Structure 1
Amino acid sequence: MADEADISRATLHRRGVSREALIAALAARAADEFRTALWPALTSPGTAAERLRAMLEAMFQTADRHLELLTGMYVAHGEMFHQPGPDALTVDIFAAPFERLLRDGVLDGSLREVPPTVTATVLFNTAGWGYVHLRASHEWPPERTREAIIDLVMNGLLP
């Protein structure tokens, strides 16, 4: 953890930084990078389907940069970013960009009509955590993982 934060273990100890606080800070940094990486795909010209493909690529590239952190968080705590329950929908910084593109895709005809909030929640969690799992547990290379998930997602959403 200290290495990823680029701080010595002794410095962390002297400052009284707990493991939980460090994990929270690293997770916040990863979430900020996620938002920044998705912004160009969200705001670029092109059809929603083209932008969705670009958004998935950006999400996977960000996941690769934080793969150890994401894997550790998921294995240690399970899905910790959202409230549990069958009616809990993740319309937040993670799923909101996907919801936007799903709605745009219906308007421009490049994506089929789906319940946008539910589908964005499923899309983010299936693609995002599926990518982390295949990369970390199955040790698939990034290119193979990206192609397989993007193919599945896009073929499920094209009209």
Structure 2
Amino acid sequence: MGNLISVASRGSVSRAALLLASALTFVMACSTDSSVAPAAIRNTVAAAPERNYSFSIARESRTVNVRFARVRSNGQESVSVFMERMFASADAAGATRLVLDLSGTRGGDSFLIVPLVKGIISREQFTRHGGLVVIVGPDTFSPSQNAATVLQRYAQPIFVDRPVT
């Protein structure tokens, strides 16, 4: 089904292997669809770094941009409530693409990411090729590695690796 590419980060912590479907191309800040990767990275950079998670919707491109810094509660709003709100907004906007920025996720609880994975997998527009872009990077850690691996298996994500700067 896919190729296994192991990517090690600095220090003693190694990043999980990325499983890529043979139809996909592993890219470093660009994609086989040149309109996807650079725009995906540009659109997620502006997200508020002090929040554990956030999302925005670009209505003109029908793209929902989701960013995780940590997979744990954001004060009063739990991760599952955030997911419900994000998917309800995406559905209402008729979103056809989801850009998931996991490049700065430095930890949290892997079980809390389950509603995100279920929500993506249950929406056909996000499981078809080009419907899901997953951004990983040198700080991507445990819960995000798990999510990326499961999404690779059940969806057709385009993986974009944010280069070390």
TM-score normalized by the length of structure 1: 0.29
The structure with more radius of gyration: 1
Higher-strand-fraction structure: 2
Higher-helix-fraction structure: 1
